[in-house]
A and B are shown apart, each in its own frame.
Chain A
Amino acid sequence: MTPHKTTNGQDPNESANRRSAEPLLPILEAPSTRRTVLKTVGAALGLAAFGEALSPLMVVPENMSIDEFLQQHYKELSDDDKQRIFSRLEAETKERFGAEVKIVDPKPIPGVRFGYAINVSKCNGNGKCMEACNRENNHHRGVDQSYIRVLEMSKGSMDMEHGSTTFDHTVPQDDKFYMPVQCQQCDNPPCVSACPIEATWKEDDGIVVVDYNWCIGCRYCEAACPYHARRFNWEPPEIPAGEVNPNQGYLSNRIRPQGAMEKCHFCLHRTREGRAPACQEACPTGARVFGDLNDPDSDINYVLKNKRVFVLKEELGTKPSFFYYFDS
C-alpha cells in the first residue's frame, strides 16, 4: 500500500509478476523472482519466530497424555473407562505430589436430596469450617483456598455491602452476626445454565458437580453465580505430600487440574456414604445442620419447619438447598 504504486491502477513490476505467474499457480511455476525468494525467506523466518514465540507451550504435552486429551465427558464414560482414568489420576498424584491416594466415585443415594442449614444466631465467625474445607478438599495451600467465605454482618441489616470477610478481631463482636456462604446447591442453578459444555450439572441428590477434566475454564459460571461459590484454579495447586487427603472422589475432592473450575460439593465423597460434611464436623458452635430433605424426620427438616428460615438472594429465583435460620 505504498503511495504512487497504484496511481495508474497498476505497478509495472507487479503486473509483470502476475503475468509471469498467470499460466498456473505461481508457487508451482516457481518464477524465482527476487521478491518471491524474499517472501519465502520472510515466511520461513516468520514461521520460525512463531514457533519460538509459542515454545513455552512445549511443557503442555509433557504434562498431558493423549488419554487425558481425548477423555470424554463424565456421563459418557463406561465403568471400565472410569477405572482406567482413576488409576491414571492416582498415578499422576503419586508422581506430582508424592501421595498415595484412592479415587472413588460414589453415586447419589436413591431418594436422598441434601439440604444444609446454618444457624446465624450461633455462628461466631471463627473460621474452623473454612479450615476444615481446605484440608478435606485438597485445596491449594498457596492461597489457603476454601469453598466457604464467612461474612461479618451488622446486626439489623442484611445488606452485604456493610459486611466484611477480612475481619481478624476476636469473635463474635456484640453488634455483628456471622454468615458463612458457600455453594447453595440451587435447584435452579444459574451456573449450570451458563456452562457452554455441560461441564457442570446437578445430580439427583441436589449436588451441583463439576467434571474437572471436561471444564474448559471459560469462567462464565463464575460470572453467573450470585453467591461467589465457584473457584478457578489460576495456577497449579500445591499441597505438601503429608497433607494430601487420600480419600478422594472423582467429582469432589481429588486434586483439581490447573485452569479448571471447582466448587463446594457438600463433601459428596463423605455425604454419599452417610457421613457428615467436613465443615459440619469442624464447627465448634453447632451452627451447621445437614441432612436429607426428603426424610420428614431429618434434622434439616426439623429446622425448616420450626425455625425462621431464609435463603440468600431469594428474589433471584435460584431456589437454594442451603438455608439460614435464627434461633429466636
Chain B
Amino acid sequence: MLGWPRRLPALLLIGLLLPCAIVVIFTAAMNLQETDHYAAIVQSGNPSGVDSISSGQQLSGQSSTLRHTVEIRRPTGPPRVITTLKDASGEFVTVACSTCHTTRPPNHQNKSVRELDEFHSGMAFSHGTVSCLSCHNSEDYDSLKLADGAPVEFTSVMTLCGQCHGPQLKDYQHGAHGGMNGYWDLTRGPQQKNNCVDCHDPHSPQFPHMKPVFKPRDRFLEQSGTEH
C-alpha cells in the first residue's frame, strides 16, 4: 500500500482521461467513415441545360428519360376595361383597349398616372422610368410590344418582362424565382409555375405588403410584437 499515494495523480488522470480517450477514438472512427458529402455537392457538375421558355408556355426537359411538363400559367389575354353600363343579364359591359385607343393619338412621353384619365384613373404606376408605350403597343393596344418594336401577345408577357429583368428570368428558369407547385422530380409528375403578372402588378411590380397569417403559440413566449 506504500506506493499508492504516489499513484494517486495517475489514478485521477486515468479516471478523467479514459472516457475522453475512448469517446474521441470512437467518434473519430465514425467521422472517418462518413463520406464528405459537402465536397461532393460543391464539385458536382456544372450549371448546364438552361431551359428555354421562348414560347412562354411550356418547358420540357432535354434529358432522354420521359419527363413531365412544367406548366406555366398564362394570362387570359388582352385586358378589357369595365364600363359603367350593364347588359341584359346585369353584368357590366367590358370593352377592349383598342375600342378607344384606335381613335386617339398615342402620347409617347407619358410616364405617370397624373396625365391619364377616364378608365385609367386611380391606377397606381410605379415601374421605374419606363413610359406606358415602352410596353404597350401603340399600333395595336390589344397586344404588347418588345423593345425592338415587334408585337407580343399579352399571354406572352414573360418574354416582354424578361427583356429588362434578365436575372429574374434566369432565376425563374431554374426554379429560383416565382415558386412552384407539383413535382420537383419531373420524371414522376408535372410542375406548375406562375407567370410574372400572377405575383407582380406590371404597373407597380413591387411585391405587395402582407399581414403575417400564422404564428405558433409558444407557452411563456411573450407576444411582445417586435423587439425583445
Contact = CB atoms under 8 A, between A and B. Distances in A.
Interface stretch (B98-106, B155-163, B171-179): B171-179
B44 A271 contact: no
A276 B213 contact: no
B179 A283 contact: yes
A275 B183 CA distance: 4
B44 A276 contact: no
B225 interface: yes
B187 interface: yes
26 contacts: A115-B41, A119-B176, A124-B207, A124-B209, A131-B214, A143-B218, A166-B224, A166-B225, A168-B212, A168-B223, A172-B209, A193-B27, A274-B187, A274-B188, A274-B189, A275-B182, A276-B180, A281-B180, A283-B179, A285-B207, A286-B178, A291-B175, A293-B41, A303-B174, A304-B41, A319-B37
A286 B199 contact: yes
B5 interface: no
Given A124-B207, A143-B217, A297-B45, A113 B184 contact: no
B84 interface: no
Given A117-B176, A168-B225, 19 more contacts: A119-B176, A126-B210, A134-B216, A143-B217, A146-B214, A162-B227, A164-B227, A166-B223, A169-B226, A280-B179, A281-B179, A281-B180, A289-B175, A290-B184, A299-B176, A302-B174, A303-B176, A306-B176, A319-B37
Nearest to A306: B47
A319 B219 CA distance: 31
Given A130-B215, A171-B210, A188-B34, A296 B44 contact: yes
Interface in B182-213: 182-185, 187-189, 194, 199, 207, 209-213
B188 A273 contact: yes
B141 to A, nearest CB: 31
Interface residues of A, number: 68
A299 B175 contact: yes
Q: Dominant SS at the B interface? A: loop
Nearest to B173: A302
Contacts of A124: 207, 209-210
Nearest to A276: B184
B49 interface: yes
A183 B199 CA distance: 28
Contacts of A319: 37-38
Nearest to B174: A302
Q: Which 7 pairs show the lowest CB-CB distances between chains A and B?
A: A296-B45, A274-B188, A299-B175, A286-B179, A274-B185, A131-B214, A302-B174
A173 B168 CA distance: 22
A319 B222 CA distance: 32
B45 to A, nearest CB: 2
B221 interface: yes
Interface of A: 109, 113, 115, 117, 119, 122, 124-128, 130-131, 134, 143-146, 149-150, 152, 162, 164-172, 187-188, 193, 206, 271, 273-276, 280-281, 283-294, 296-299, 301-307, 319, 327-328
A267 to B, nearest CB: 11
B181 interface: yes
Contacts of A119: 176
Given A113-B37, A296-B44, A319-B37, A130 B216 contact: yes
A130 B225 contact: no
Contacts of B218: 143
B55 interface: no
A281 B182 CA distance: 8
B185 A289 contact: no
Contacts of A271: 184
A238 B68 CA distance: 39
B46 interface: yes
A30 B42 CA distance: 80
A187 B199 contact: no
Given A167-B212, A280-B179, A187 B38 contact: yes
